[in-house]
Amino acid sequence: MFALEALKMLLKKPFTWKYPFEPIEVPEGFRGKPEYDEENCIGCGACAAVCPAEAITVTEDAKVVLTLSYADCTFCADCEKACQWDAITLSKEFELATLDKSQAIVQIEREKNVCEGCGGTISAVEQMDWIKEEISEIKDNIPADDLEAITKLCPECRRDKAAENIISEVYS
Amino acid sequence: MLEGLKNLCRKKSPWLMHFNTGSCNGCDIEIIDALTPRYDAERFGAVLKGSPRHADVMLVTGPVTKQVKPRLKRVHAQMPEPKAVIAVGNCAATGGVFKGCYSIENGVDNVIPVAAYVHGCPPKPEAILFGAVTALNALFGD
Amino acid sequence: MALKIPIGPQHPALKEPTNFSVELDGEEIVDAYVKPNYNHRGMERLAEEKTYPQVLVLYERICGICSQIHPQCFAQATEDALGIEVPERANYIRTIMCELERVHSHLLWAGVGAHELGFDTGLMYLWRDREAVMDILEMISGNRVNYKMNTIGGVRRDIDERKIPMLLEALDAYVPQVDLYANAFTKDPTLRARLEGSGILTRKEADELCVAGPTARASGRDVEVRRDDPYAAYEEVDFEVPVVDDGDIMARAVVRLLELYQSINILKQALKNIPEGPIQADIDEIPEGEGVGRIEAPRGEVIHYVRSDGSWYPERTKVRAPSYVNIPALIPMLIGDTVAEIPITVASIDPCWSCTARVAIVDTNKKTEKIMTFEEIRSHYG
């Protein structure tokens, strides 16, 4: 039944692509290996929060480090959608074989602000700049004490300090 | 000298076996796709075999469910030496999106040794060809 | 003395792990047992720990062939539970994706079926033509499989207006190819000898087992969710539902090939009539509630159930995949046939084992196994 089809195909060019001897083109909007943008990323970790496969981890040792393991990634592009700074995009790269899966990572490092109370992490420097910008409009409504605390203390220390203030007010 | 010739032969005609350990079918159809006209892996001497006793390279897909784990070990033991395992897809590499399911082993390398990983969810057929070439070059020399 | 042979879990004729054992009298099958569950991963449990958008990504991977159907069905169930109205354009895009998936799935099935018959030329030609629809899917969604098109309340990506003439052209080019395969499957004497009269599922058995999808429609059981309970934009397109009464493997092949024509027809209508507008609904709050989604997948009816407790995480989800009802139908199909018919009979229902794995208690230490009944589960966990 396919004899006629086979004869027709004899007269045509080969259907097989020459890959890997010739590169192939992937369509616009292809979801390949995720890449961070060094300029735009503020290290907020929104991408890590939405990731369905828990492929993005945030560590805060010397610096704030976002590590995306594309050995876990599902290439769903939810991170791309969640990032309002366009700092993570899915590139067109699809040849992603490795011999060691721990090498399959994409990383970005951000300087961090250190808490004056405990030496822990407040946030990445860029994220703090953004927070300052965001609250600049409502600055006048916030007590000066709190405003300082936001930029100098981590959330835990801020909570402790607030609790101390309340206690001292009540018992003084 | 003889070893070099042997390795060349192994590299030029890898016989493949495909084993599904609970994957979603995505990687499996892409593996079959790599053997059909557009990608035609048979250009490189690769043939998909049904029996592990005929195969050099096992392509494993899926996060390895608890039920299939003893079978995977047995099938791997049945393959003749030298043998290589390529984990195709991200759930075969680490468990991928299934990480945290109670019935999986989080990746093939927790059960049998893996030579190479092909990342993607699922990888394109081209990426599978590229991964197979990477693995064979690493195993049998460039 | 009947001979009992096991098939699987790793077997050349099976693309996914499963286990059959058939009892033989000579070459005739007198009894058959099917043991799925090798693919059981425990996704419904994991879904309770993920947010709604994350569950969409997880449920996309229930099955890589129905990777539009399952997340769409989950999204429909969630929209039902949360009371979200989906924009018209999103409904059309969902319809287009569903039908493209049906075309690719049926071509894939026909190729696998040809391979199981030892007809590898057919496999190669069918999968060659399948590449065109895979390219369309990749162009629209950005990936060949696991499209991630759906979101709660709509779709994530729009179809570019400029691409529509190209898509229509590609669909027109499909019709002569489908003609070729329809001719090959229905006229070729060798294929007819293999397919006609084997793997018979009678109307009565089909009704008793409540089979779904093309398996049911090939046995004269006229069920079709797209017509009976229209979802997405199916109310606004015209199509016919092919039903054949024979109940053999040939009937199942004919139903699927006729559905290919209908899918191309639906796709053309949907692409021509696609309305302008937004593709996502706004979601303000997550109320409590429960919802059900029903979809006609290429294999039959998919049902998703979602219960919301008002949080970001679904309280309970439940999936019923079509192969779950179709696999028991293999037993009456296989009994009375010969050993050589097993691969094609199994392939003829287009089973999807990864969709299906359900509650089974497997004690690997004692090598015993027990499938729990509903009453047992209730007394155990109630």
Contact flag B65-C41 (C-beta cutoff 8 Å):
yes
User: What is the predicted pLDDT for the residue at A131?
Assistant: 86
- B134 vs C372, higher pLDDT: B134
Q: Which of helix, strand or coil describes residue C202?
A: coil
> Is residue B27 domain-resident?
yes
Is B74 inside a domain boundary? yes
Residue among B36, B94, B133 with most chain A CBs within 10 A, to mutate:
B94
Contact check, Cβ <8 Å, C57/A78: yes
CB contact under 8 A, C352 and B25: yes
| Confidence bin at B85 (pLDDT 50/70/90) | very high
pLDDT for A23 equals: 87
| B61 in C contact zone (CB under 8 Å) | no
Cross-chain residue pair B68–C37, CB shorter than 8 Å: no
Give the pLDDT score at C370.
52
Closest CA to C138 of B122, B89, B130: B122
Q: What digits encode the pLDDT tens for the residues C54-112? A: 999 999 888 888 889 999 999 999 999 999 999 999 999 999 999 999 999 999 999 98
Tell if the CB–CB gap between B97 and A53 is shorter than 8 Å.
yes
Q: Alpha-carbon distance B124 to B57, whole Å?
A: 19
Let me know if residue A7 belongs to a domain: no
Strands B84-88 and B57-61: parallel
Percent of chain C past pLDDT 90, that is, above it, reads 42
Report chain B residues whose CB lies below 8 A from the CB of A101: 93-94, 109, 117
Does the pLDDT of residue C226 top 50, yes or no?
Answer: yes
Does the distance separating the beta carbons of A5 and C180 come in below 8 Å? Answer: yes
Residue C188: its pLDDT value, please?
A: 87
Contact A97 B93 (CB under 8 A): no
Interchain contact B113–A (C-beta under 8 A): no
In angstroms, rounded to a whole number, what is the distance separating the alpha carbons of residues C182 and C21? 33
Reply yes or no on whether the pLDDT at A172 is more than 90. Answer: no
Please give the average per-residue pLDDT across C362-373, as a whole number. Answer: 46
Residue C213 has pLDDT above 60, yes or no: yes
Q: Write down the H helix ranges in chain B.
A: 2-12, 26-34, 69-78, 90-93, 125-140
Q: Average pLDDT in the A24-34 region?
A: 89
User: Could you tell me the pLDDT band of residue C352, with boundaries at 50, 70 and 90?
Assistant: confident
Whether residues B129 and A19 touch (CB distance < 8 A) is answered with: yes
Q: What is the pLDDT of residue A156?
A: 87
Q: Are A80 and A103 members of one domain?
A: yes
Chain C residues in contact with B67 by the CB 8 A cut-off are: 37-38, 40, 362, 364
Q: How far is A56 from chain B (nearest CA, A)?
A: 12
Query: Does residue B1 lie in a domain region?
Result: no
Last residue of a domain, one of A64, A82, A110: A110
Chain A interface includes B142 (CB < 8 A): no
The whole domain housing A35 covers 27-110
A: neighbours with 3+ CB pairs under 8 Å?
A: B, C
In the predicted structure, residue C379 carries a pLDDT above the cut 90 = no
The CATH number linked to B52 is 3.40.50.12280
Residue B102 domain-assigned (yes or no):
yes
Of residues C12, C111, C144, nearest to B124 (C-beta):
C144
* CA–CA dist A47, A79 (Å, integer): 5
Residue (of C179, C181, C154) closest to C97 by Cα position: C154
On the question of pLDDT at B141 being above 80, the answer is no
Question: Is the separation of the CB atoms in C260 and C171 below 8 Å?
Answer: no
Q: Distance (Å, rounded) from C-alpha B107 to C-alpha A68? A: 18
Contact, C152 vs C283, CB < 8 A? Answer: yes
CB contact under 8 A, A50 and C156: no
Q: What is the pLDDT of residues A77-133, one digit of tens each?
A: 899 999 998 999 999 988 888 998 888 899 999 988 888 888 888 888 888 888 888
Residue C367 has pLDDT above 50, yes or no: no
Say if residue A75 is in the same domain as residue A128. no
Minimal Cα–Cα distance from B135 to chain A, Å?
A: 7
Q: Do B122 and C123 touch (CB under 8 A)?
A: no
| Assigned domain for A11 exists | no
Task: Give CA–CA dist C273/C281, Å, rounded.
Answer: 20
Nearest residue in B to A70, CA atom: B119
Residue C93 to residue A149: CA distance in whole angstroms: 50
- Cα separation of the two ends of chain B: 15
Q: Evaluate if residue A44 carries a pLDDT over 80.
A: yes
Last residue of a domain, one of A85, A110, A135: A110
Radius of gyration of chain A (CA): 25
Is the backbone peptide bond immediately before B122 cis, with ω within 30 degrees of 0? yes
Pair A41, A103 in one domain: yes
Q: From residue B137, how far is each of B123, C52, C178, C250 by CA, in Å?
A: 19, 43, 41, 46
**Domain membership flag for residue B104:** yes
Tokens 């429609």, residue located: C217
Q: Domains of chain C, with CATH numbers?
A: 40-375 (1.10.645.10)
Residues A99, A158, single domain; the answer is: no
Do A81 and A131 sit in the same domain of this protein? no
The minimal CB distance from C142 to the residues A31, A52, A78 is found for A31
How far does B74 lie from chain A, in Å, by closest CA?
24
Q: Grade residue C258 by pLDDT with cuts at 50, 70 and 90.
A: very high
Q: What is the largest CA-CA distance in chain A?
A: 99
Q: Are A48 and A87 in contact (CB under 8 A)?
A: no
Looking at residue C360, its pLDDT comes to 41
Which of C7, C10, C44, C358 is the best mutation test for B, with the most CBs of B within 10 A? Answer: C10
Chain C residues 188-207 with a CB less than 8 Å from chain A: 188
pLDDT value of residue C40: 85
Closest residue in B to A23 (Cα) is B126
Residue C172, Cβ neighbours under 10 Å: how many? 11
Q: What is the DSSP secondary structure assignment for residue B41, as one 8-state letter?
A: G
- pLDDT of residue C149 exceeding 60: yes
CA distance C205 to C333: 10
Please write the tens of the pLDDT for every residue from B25-68: 888 889 988 988 898 888 888 888 888 898 889 999 989 988 88
Q: Which is it for strands A56-60 and C3-7: parallel, antiparallel or unpaired? A: unpaired
What is the rounded average pLDDT for all residues in chain A? 87
Reduced to 3 states (helix: H, G, I; strand: E, B; else coil), residue C112 is helix
What residues does B104 pair with on adjacent strands?
Answer: B65
B84-88 and B116-118 as β-strands: parallel, antiparallel, unpaired? parallel
User: What is the chain A residue with the closest CA to B118?
Assistant: A97
Q: Is B39 at the interface with chain C, CB within 8 A?
A: no
Q: What is the pLDDT averaged over residues B126-138? A: 88
Distance from CA of C312 to the nearest CA of A (A): 12
Provide the domain limits for residue B117. 13-140
Under a CB-based contact definition with an 8 Å cutoff, are residues C312 and C44 in contact? no
Strand partners, C7: C20
**Predicted pLDDT at C376:** 56
Q: Chain centroid to CA A39: how far?
A: 13
> Is there a domain that residue B112 lies in?
yes
The CA distance from A135 to the nearest CA of chain C, in Å, is 25
Regarding whether A98 and A40 lie in a shared domain, the answer is yes
What is the tens place of the pLDDT at every residue in C8-64?
777 766 677 788 888 888 888 888 888 777 888 888 888 888 999 999 999 988 888
Average pLDDT, chain C: 86
Number of domains chain A contains: 2
CB C351 within 8 A of CB C327: yes
Interface of B with A in 15-54 (CB under 8 A): 37-40, 43
How many domains does chain B fold into? 1
**Rounded to a whole number, what is the distance in Å from the CA of A101 to chain B's nearest CA?**
7
Of B39, B99, B123, which is closest to A17 when you measure between CB atoms? B39
How many Å lie between the alpha carbon of C64 and the closest alpha carbon of chain B? 4
Q: Do A35 and A84 reside in the same domain of the chain?
A: yes
SS3 readout for B90-104: HHHHCCHHHCCCCCE
Residue in chain B nearest C70 by alpha carbon: B24
Tell me, what CATH number does A31's domain have?
Answer: 3.30.70.3270
pLDDT (tens digit, 9 = 90+) per residue, C184-211?
Answer: 888 888 888 888 888 899 999 999 888 8
Distance CA A164, CA B75 (A): 65
Residue B116 placed within a domain: yes
Residue numbers of C between 32 and 91 with CB closer than 8 Å to A: 50, 53-55, 57-58, 61
Chain B residue numbers with beta carbons less than 8 Å from the beta carbon of C65 are: 25-26, 29
**Those residues with Cβ within 8 angstroms of residue C358's Cβ, 6 or more apart along the chain or in another chain:** C36, C37, C40, C324
Query: Is B21 in CB contact (< 8 Å) with chain C?
Result: yes
Work out the minimum CA distance from B62 to partner chain A, whole angstroms.
13
Q: Is A95 exposed, middle or buried (0-12, 13-18, 19+ CB in 10 A)?
A: buried
Q: C104: buried, middle or exposed (CB in 10 Å: 19+, 13-18, 0-12)?
A: buried
Q: What confidence score (pLDDT) does residue B142 get?
A: 64
Q: Residue B30: which of B131, B114, B135 has the closest Cα? A: B131
Is A129 domain-assigned?
A: yes
Residue C84 and residue C287: Cα distance in Å, rounded?
A: 11
A36: closest CA of chain B, how far (Å): 18
Chain C touching partners, 3 or more CB pairs below 8 A: A, B
